Amino acid sequence: MSDIKLTEFIRESNRIEGILREPQLYEIRAHQELLRLRAVPVAALCSFVGTIAPGHRLRDTAGLNVRVGNHIAPAGGPNIRVRLEQLLLDSGDPWQQHIDYETLHPFTDGNGRSGRALWLWRMGGSAPIGFLHQFYYQTLERIGR
């Protein structure tokens, strides 16, 4: 994926979250590093989220619970890491993996952006984002995220 296409992907991903500034160099580099991986271990994803959403972390401690709209994510605790590891090993449909990731909501923040970056990685870094803000959230809500 060219730097221009990657920057466009990050720009659109950020806009879905209401982040209207231009993609920063650290975001571009974090995405490039993620896309270079042959497999994405939990530690690499934690590093990615720590870069794009500083101060936020994996919800692997009891009590780190989140609610997003009408969706209440699974309770925080060690099981979050285990479920994320399983999800990252899944070689099934990239869109289903994305839905499962967003449903798990493994981090305290940065789940949308990291989920879309993970989707891009699963697509081999060559797929356009194709997410329009309204379509993206309507789809996730319709399936019960």
User: Would you give per-residue pLDDT tens digits along the chain (145 residues)?
Assistant: 899 999 999 999 999 899 999 999 999 999 999 999 999 999 999 999 999 999 999 999 999 999 988 889 999 999 999 999 999 999 888 888 988 999 999 999 999 999 999 999 998 998 666 654 555 666 667 766 5
Tokens of residue 97, six digits: 């993996």
Query: Is residue 104 a contact partner of residue 84, using CB atoms and an 8 Å limit?
Result: yes
Q: Which pLDDT does position 70 carry in this prediction?
A: 86
pTM for the structure as a whole: 0.89
Q: Which pLDDT does position 126 carry in this prediction?
A: 82
Q: Which pLDDT does position 95 carry in this prediction?
A: 82
Q: What does the buried/exposed string (b/e) look like for 43-80 if buried means 16 or more CB atoms within 10 Å of the residue's CB? A: eebbebbbbbbeebbbbbeeebebeeeeeebeebeeeb
Nearest by Cα to 31 from 14, 55, 17, 15: 14
